[in-house]
Amino acid sequence: MNAPIADTDKFTDLDLMALHASTLDQLRTATSEWERVVSSNDRLEATMALVDSVHAAERRLDRPNAEMARRQCRAAVA
Q: Which domain holds residue 51?
A: 17-77
- Residue 36 CA to residue 59 CA, distance in Å, equals 22
Number of structural domains in the chain: 1
Q: Are 65 and 4 in contact (CB under 8 A)?
A: no
- Does residue 3 sit within a domain? no
Q: Would you place residue 1 in the very low, low, confident or very high pLDDT band (cuts 50, 70, 90)?
A: very low
Are the beta carbons of 54 and 23 closer than 8 angstroms? Answer: no
**pLDDT tens, 12-43?**
888 888 888 888 898 898 888 888 887 877 66
In a domain, 1, yes or no: no
Average model confidence (pLDDT) across the chain: 80
Give the three-state DSSP class for 2.
Answer: coil
Does a structural domain hold residue 33?
A: yes
Distance CA 23, CA 4 (A): 11
In a domain, 41, yes or no: yes
